[in-house]
Structure 1
Amino acid sequence: YGTAMRIGTNHGSLSDRILSHYGDTPLGMVESALEFLRICEDNNYYNIVLSMKASNTQVMVQAYRLLIQKMQEAKMNYPLHLGVTEAGEGEDGRIKSAVGIGALLEDGIGDTVRVSLTEEPEFEIPVAKALVERYAQRSIHSPIPKVENQKSEEIVNQQSSIVNLGYNPYQYERRKTIEVLNIGDHNVPRVVADFSEKQSITPASFFAVGYNYSIPLDKWNLTDQACDYIFVGNNKINFETPGTLGLIYNSKTWKTLENKIRCYPLFTVSEYFSSDKKSEELNFISVTIDDILQLSNIPLFQLSNVALVFETTNEHGMAEQRRMFIELMQKNISVPVIIKRNYIDLSEKNFQLHSSTDIGTLFLDGFGDGIWLSACVNASTNKKQNSSSKNTNATAFGILQATRTRISKTEYISCPSCGRTLFDLQETTAKIRKRTDHLKGVKIGIMGCIVNGPGEMADADYGYVGTGVGKITLYKGKEVVERNINSEHAVDALIELIKKYGDWVEKETVNY
């Protein structure tokens, strides 16, 4: 009758047979889908859409990429439905959705999109539209240099060879770099806040980026989302700054500083190689793709104590910056890199979605030792208004959290409401978040029913699942630990379970 069917593989619900062969992996997800696809084709049924369901953006993106590669080998060409399952709520859900869906859209992958938020359904559509509308004019962008000296190499567990990109798009591995101060190598990606457009900088300015000054204690208190560096441009700081914070100055201003402790210069390429004064600890060099193509011929000893800052104005900036990383890797240049993006004339909502797509994609590929976001709204008017420093900083940390490259808060894997939901998801999620949002690194699944819940929250450390009207079952990982708890006591029971397994810490109370 012309009816279409979607074959969707769930990361947490693979069969025992698939798990024994491939494990709980993107390849296992792909093989599971292909198994059902072959059954359909054997029965001359081809009206099919495929999807790879995972709340982990790394797994989700790798699965779709692998699926395309496997379909090409088998001469298949089925449409793909994209979505990060159980993405959660609020800014976390939007950032995670943009990272996963956007990474695929950036590479021209995907035919339909679903954004899954623990909110009213009508709030999902605007996010999905904002993600896809960006590509209406994407074909119009500055050309990106092709990869030179292309040659093929066999990728492990792949039957066909691909162009040598210097990295494996099917498996996460962070680009290997040297360590410069606290950037690169084993260090978590660093976050740079941009204060260069501020008229004045005071201790209160630092509150928005995670540093709170306690007057009674006369000391700085750091939150889990305290940035690592602040770019102050040509501003001068006339007060004592936190001991863990680095300040970045334009190189000419940096040279005039009497006290250069925890202060570092930002050079252009020409400024750096012509300067007779550099930091002995850390120098930032702002580079474009043209600079990178020339830098690849510079001996490594001239780039000691350097972190590159990747800049782009290309409409397809993600692809251009990825090309810059490929150039470094092909030339075996292991200098750490801060990924920087400037956004002009965007709403706060679109800034969040666009930056998550652009930079999140690169972190999923294993690129980047830091993130630097700068945003201005209403830039076309006479009064340029800076985007909220707090929002920009939260977005940067949210991108790192969504790509699982730096964990700074609790992660919630919660489903959208549907007809099977056995409790008020939004209210319950808010209650759980209020009690647990300080548990850095803990992943909590909040599922409305037993049908898909356990499978779709398989990546969670703890699970809260509706199993009947007014009844909740609690999970530790994939294992049931308590069944049919009355809902009015279930949140308390979840807290006790977290304490039992040693993941609970008390909230700190700080007096300012």
Structure 2
Amino acid sequence: MLDSLLSPSLSTNTDSPERSESLIQYTPSLTQYIRRKTSTVTIGDVPMGSDYPIRVQSMTTIDTMDTKGSVEQTIRMIEAGCEYVRITAPSVKEAQNLENIRKELRAKGYNTPLVADIHFTPNAAELAARIVEKVRINPGNYADRKRFEFIDYTDAAYAAELERIQAKFLPLIRICKEYGTAMRIGTNHGSLSDRILSRYGDTPVGMVESALEFLRICEAENYYNITLSMKSSNPQVMVQAYRLLVQRLDEEGLKPYPLHLGVTEAGEAEDGRIKSALGIGTLLEDGIGDTVRVSLTEEPEREAPVAKALIDRYTNRAATSNPIPKITHYPINPFQYTRRKTHEVANFGGQNVPRVIADFSQIPVTEHRDLHPVGHFYLPEPDKWRMNDLGADYIYTGSQPAQFMLPNGLRQILDYAVWQTYSDQVNTSPVLSATDYLTAHATQTQLQTRLNFVRVSLPELSNELLVSLRNDPTVVLIISSDNAHAMPELRRLFVELMNQGLTTPVVISRAYTQVAEENLPLYAATDVGGLLIDGLGDGTMLSSVGMSGSADSLKGLNSLSFGILQAARTRITKTEYISCPSCGRTLFDLQETTARIRQRTDHLKGVKIGIMGCIVNGPGEMADADYGYVGIGRDKIALYRGQEVIKKSVPADRAVDELIELIREDSRWIEPSLVNE
């Protein structure tokens, strides 16, 4: 049915956001699962590229000078599923000790390739490249020192800077060629050089250009054993940068190098997994990515199973997916966030934040009164309801109306058949199938005067339905998909609405069947977050088919919805922590410190706090943070406001209190006792 609706291509200009699918260069297809074709990179005995499986990797957190500890942790990581293990080499002595670590691992029968992680120290990189299978360099600090200065370069002065970089970088390239060592040119959003920031700004364009400057030097030397990465703690920036990188490689006629995917400083627990999945999963959906590292503030062996769960979703994706009609006119700019234009219906669409609908349809009606799991609390004294920042906006009760008066700020959605005979049609809204809606429209049956929900999938998007929606200011769509390739099918539905000029608000609904509890946040963050990140969606509704119906299940799904909206930066409801995953450079216990800071500050809605183990991952990597807590020495902390250091050498035992004082000085501190339960 949909094939007849496909809009003609309005533009063949690749500079325009209006593109046909055949002109999209960052992905092989917007509608089919096709892995991006890449060159092959030789990394020991585990090659990387599109001819091989997507690889899993992680990074040690032990001091690199602790040979025994590094070997033991590396083995735990390998046994957890790591196919590459990265180890920091902040100076020559650590680079030298990589040889001892490697020898012990090989003696124990472990041949997993090792990767040296380098910042600031070309001499350490040059030594490590003779020892391990791969080196990672950061173009933001390999040949530059960051001083947060703006420099107005002339073209000649900029060219001179590139010559200086080339002179510093060439020795490493030649060593890698001689020893058969692979290299990752790994751009980090937060550590772009002053030179790049001065010319390109703090943007995905700057991130891509930072890598390309180094890549062009490599290609001039006929060195191609390279992988690339574009990491950021902001998934939106990360996704845009990878897409732009792929596009630029193609436009410049450079090799299609394999890509290392990761959201840096994702954090811990569910929030860290959501943020990682939102960035990594969105790219994997479009066939982009050849190795994955999930950066969690947890033990590194806990990262590999998360990465593997993300990757495994695509093992049989092409074979199990239903065909999706191709896109002949793509109205979305994939390199710049723009929210889809919608008109306001009740509190959906327009300038409203995305809304959360909690699915109570599988909960026994006797348990509806307990709204605590979805953020609404009844207080016997003073006989009032209170809502916290994770309070759902609507509850869908299906065929079982709630048997009590709902609190202000929460509305009920009922199945249409039940709503038709319900006593309070004014304060409830029906949800209709596409067929029921068209019948009601044709017969001029009275619906709710302000807000009606219509469920629709891509195959149901008929001409008749589109015409009816165009003339109805009361409808919010609830879209869903049974396709294994669900996110692209839902995106295809959005594209058709946009091409047809419809501004009807849309709620993204995903129901999961037989999904392991630990994978649900990963799948939902990919499917829903991958749309939100491109400005698509005015609400979410998550459910797990066959869920126990317990309060914990409801609470988990509700928290997940708000977590996805937060990670996509579309609705901020809680404190955000940008915490690095730790490594051998870390100067304090990151997990313990993060937990302590979270305990004291997690009521500060909308405040972003960076927690960085060392100066390498300091003010740069927490580019998005409002405040920073950075290790600068043993038990010594520097506190930042944005990227400006405010307090230096604060003793660690006083640092959290000093951080709170800094927040208090800015009038952003709220006493926990004043925050809603």
Same fold (TM over 0.5): yes
For the pair 1:197 / 2:197, whether they are aligned, the reply is no
Deviation at 1:507, TM superposition (A): 1.4
Which residue number in structure 2 is paired with residue 101 of structure 1? 280
Contact 2:360 2:368 in 1 (8 A): no
Contact 2:469 2:475 in 1 (8 A): no
Deviation at 1:503, TM superposition (A): 1.3
Aligned residue-pair number: 493
In 2, Cα distance between equivalents of 1:422 and 1:384: 45
Deviation at 1:20, TM superposition (A): 2.2
Contact 1:376 1:385 in 2 (8 A): no
For the pair 1:136 / 2:315, whether they are aligned, the reply is yes
Which residue number in structure 2 is paired with residue 404 of structure 1? 569
For the pair 1:338 / 2:507, whether they are aligned, the reply is yes
Deviation at 1:238, TM superposition (A): 2.0
Which residue number in structure 1 is paired with residue 113 of structure 2? none
Q: 2:625 aligns with which of 457, 460, 464?
A: 460
In 2, Cα distance between equivalents of 1:248 and 1:57: 32
For the pair 1:124 / 2:303, whether they are aligned, the reply is yes
Which residue number in structure 2 is paired with residue 82 of structure 1? 261
Which secondary structure does the structure 2 equivalent of 1:340 belong to? strand
Which residue number in structure 2 is paired with residue 172 of structure 1? 337
TM-score, length-scaled by structure 1: 0.94
Which residue number in structure 2 is paired with residue 18 of structure 1? 196
Which residue number in structure 2 is paired with residue 158 of structure 1? none
Q: 2:593 aligns with which of 428, 436, 444?
A: 428
In 2, Cα distance between equivalents of 1:297 and 1:436: 47
Identity %: 57
Which residue number in structure 1 is paired with residue 376 of structure 2? 211
Which residue number in structure 2 is paired with residue 156 of structure 1? none
In 2, Cα distance between equivalents of 1:199 and 1:180: 30
In 2, Cα distance between equivalents of 1:100 and 1:408: 20
Deviation at 1:387, TM superposition (A): 7.4
For the pair 1:391 / 2:556, whether they are aligned, the reply is yes
AA aligned to 1:322 is: R
Instruction: Give deviations 1:61-110, integer Å, cap 9, x for gaps.
Output: 00000000000111221110000000000110000001010000010000
In 2, Cα distance between equivalents of 1:209 and 1:295: 37
Contact 1:377 1:385 in 2 (8 A): no
Which residue number in structure 1 is paired with residue 435 of structure 2? 270
In 1, Cα distance between equivalents of 2:564 and 2:463: 30
Which secondary structure does the structure 1 equivalent of 2:508 belong to? strand
Deviation at 1:421, TM superposition (A): 0.8
In 2, Cα distance between equivalents of 1:431 and 1:458: 22
Instruction: Give deviations 1:411-450, integer Å, cap 9, x for gaps.
Output: 0000112111111111111110011001000000000111
Which secondary structure does the structure 1 equivalent of 2:228 belong to? strand
Deviation at 1:301, TM superposition (A): 4.8
Which residue number in structure 2 is paired with residue 242 of structure 1? 407
Shift in alpha-carbon separation, 1:58–1:217, aligned structure 2, 3 A? same
In 1, Cα distance between equivalents of 2:369 and 2:521: 24
Contact 1:410 1:437 in 2 (8 A): yes
Deviation at 1:259, TM superposition (A): 1.6
Any stretches of 5+ residues in structure 1 without a counterpart? Answer: 151-163
Deviation at 1:12, TM superposition (A): 1.5
Deviation at 1:205, TM superposition (A): 2.4
Deviation at 1:294, TM superposition (A): 3.1
Contact 1:376 1:386 in 2 (8 A): no
Instruction: Give deviations 1:435-488, integer Å, cap 9, x for gaps.
Output: 100100000000011112221111100000000001000000011000000000
Q: 2:602 aligns with which of 428, 437, 458?
A: 437
Shift in alpha-carbon separation, 1:376–1:121, aligned structure 2, 3 A? same
Which residue number in structure 2 is paired with residue 370 of structure 1? 539
Shift in alpha-carbon separation, 1:177–1:412, aligned structure 2, 3 A? same
Contact 2:542 2:557 in 1 (8 A): yes
AA aligned to 1:57 is: P
In 2, Cα distance between equivalents of 1:217 and 1:297: 48
In 2, Cα distance between equivalents of 1:365 and 1:292: 21
Of the two, which has the highest radius of gyration? Answer: 2
Q: Output the aligned Cα RMSD.
A: 1.7
For the pair 1:49 / 2:221, whether they are aligned, the reply is no
Contact 2:388 2:676 in 1 (8 A): no
Deviation at 1:509, TM superposition (A): 5.7
AA aligned to 2:274 is: I
Which secondary structure does the structure 2 equivalent of 1:348 belong to? coil
AA aligned to 1:8 is: G
Residues 245-324 of structure 1 aligned to structure 2 (within 5 Å):
245-275=410-440, 276-294=445-463, 297-298=466-467, 300-324=469-493
Deviation at 1:261, TM superposition (A): 3.8
AA aligned to 2:637 is: I
Shift in alpha-carbon separation, 1:208–1:295, aligned structure 2, 3 A? farther
Deviation at 1:40, TM superposition (A): 1.2
Contact 1:410 1:436 in 2 (8 A): yes
Deviation at 1:204, TM superposition (A): 4.5
Deviates more, 1:235-244 or 1:172-181: 235-244
Which residue number in structure 2 is paired with residue 29 of structure 1? 207
Which residue number in structure 2 is paired with residue 58 of structure 1? 236
Deviation at 1:302, TM superposition (A): 3.2
Deviation at 1:297, TM superposition (A): 4.5
Contact 2:612 2:629 in 1 (8 A): yes
TM-score, length-scaled by structure 2: 0.71
In 1, Cα distance between equivalents of 2:366 and 2:392: 16
Contact 1:376 1:387 in 2 (8 A): no
